[in-house]
Amino acid sequence: MLRLSKKTDYALMAMKHLASDPRHRAASAREIAETYDIPVELMAKVLTRLVRSGLLTSHQGIHGGYKLAQPPAATSVAAVIEAIDGPLTMTACTPGDHRCDQFSKCTVRDPLHRIRDRIAAILAECSISEIAADPGPSAPPVTVMPSPVVRRASALSAASREP
């Protein structure tokens, strides 16, 4: 049904989360997972794949976590999808992969592959910064905090540990 896997959704949410943090702190898997009600272990698995693909950097240890490896505008949605789900293919048989039963007789492979390329182009053009530009569900369209004073409570502990 031309559907993205849920892991990819999680990956995009994580990328957006990291891209939206104005201070570019490292965020732990737990932090991200709990923010969006995602199972922690699953989030961790997704994040490590993003690291392996070079989209994130990770740092172990007590104040470790994940950071974007590149500025948000430099990472495309296509890259995220491919990091999680592998190369994006619309059909069972790609040119070169003959595993499909109908490979020899298939008449729609090439036309579909051209369509795939057009879709891939769209996904390659769309960057994480474009995703991040969109306000969240209940998030009001506020880009900057009203005043530095409001950074209390949850923001405090985070702010205090960065010198």
Considering only 28, 75, 76, 127, the residue that binds DNA (CB under 7 A) is: 28
Q: Whose CA is closest to 56, among 12, 122, 7, 6? A: 12
DSSP structure string for 83-126:
HHH-S--SSS--TT---STTGGG-SSHHHHHHHHHHHHHHHHH-
Q: Is 45 in the site for DNA (CB under 7 A)?
A: yes
Q: Is 102 in the site for its own copies (CB under 8 A)?
A: yes
**34 vs 125, beta carbon nearer DNA:** 34
Q: Whose CA is closest to 128, among 62, 56, 41? A: 56
Q: Is 36 in the site for its own copies (CB under 8 A)?
A: yes
Integer Cα distance of 158 and 21 in angstroms: 12
Report whether 73 contacts 59 (CB < 8 A): no
Considering only 26, 40, 126, 158, the residue that binds its own copies (CB under 8 A) is: 126
Q: Is 53 in the site for DNA (CB under 7 A)?
A: no
**6 vs 24, beta carbon nearer DNA:** 6
Integer Cα distance of 45 and 48 in angstroms: 5
Residue 74 CA: distances (Å) to CA of 40, 44, 66, 117, 137: 27, 23, 17, 20, 25
Interface mask toward DNA for 106-135; x: CB under 7 A: ------------------------------
Considering only 24, 34, 59, 119, the residue that binds DNA (CB under 7 A) is: 59
Torsion of CA 11, 13, 17, 20, to 10 degrees: 120
Residues that bind its own copies (CB under 8 A): 1-6, 9, 12-13, 16-17, 35-38, 77, 81, 85-86, 88-92, 101-102, 104-112, 115, 118-119, 122-123, 126, 130-131, 133-134, 136-139
Residues that bind DNA (CB under 7 A): 1, 5-7, 28-30, 38-39, 41-42, 44-45, 47-48, 51-52, 58-66, 85, 101, 157, 161
